[in-house]
Amino acid sequence: MAAGEPVPHEAAGSEQGSPEPVGRAPAIRPFLLTAGRVSGSGAAAALPVETQIVATSAGLTALPSLTFEQHDIVAACRRPQSVAELAARLRLHLNVVRVLADDLRAAGHLAVHVPNARTVQDISVLRRVIDGLRAVPDSRGSLRDSS
């Protein structure tokens, strides 16, 4: 190869729209699923971490047709889960779960129960939490595995 010839194409290959990205870190893929969207970037506020999410009957019916993370999220939401629990159990980034959960809500597969901000000031709720916490014994037995 004579000096001055164009360099081989390898270096430029990835910039020419190769459809097969390979060797990506697993952490990247969820954000590919969200098409690069992150929560809180638009007009919509990020779902609070304790937001409860539960599958709708339509979502459970549609479960066999769902794939990958969408499938896993709806399946995990057979029982109500918080956004944080979902992220932890499915090992997904919190903000990926927020975006995908909102998509699945829009598709009718999930019901998303956004907590009411006024709860913080709700005296009856605070009293119920206090009474409930007082009932916690001085020591707990061995923790059950979270499942």
Residues that bind other proteins (CB under 8 A): 44-58, 60-61, 78-80, 82, 84-85, 87-89, 93-95, 102, 105-106, 111-117, 119-123, 125-130, 132-134, 136-140, 143-146
Residues 71 and 92: their CA atoms lie apart, in Å, by: 13
Smallest gap from Cβ 1 to other proteins, in A, equals 44
Tokens standing for 18?
């190769």
Minimum CB separation from other proteins for residue 21, in Å? 22
CA distance 46 to 133: 29
Judged by CB, which is closer to other proteins: 70, or 102?
102
Tell me the HSE value of 30 on the side-chain side, using a 13 A CA sphere.
21
Least separation in angstroms between residue 10's CB and other proteins is: 32
CA dist., res. 83 & res. 33, Å (int): 17
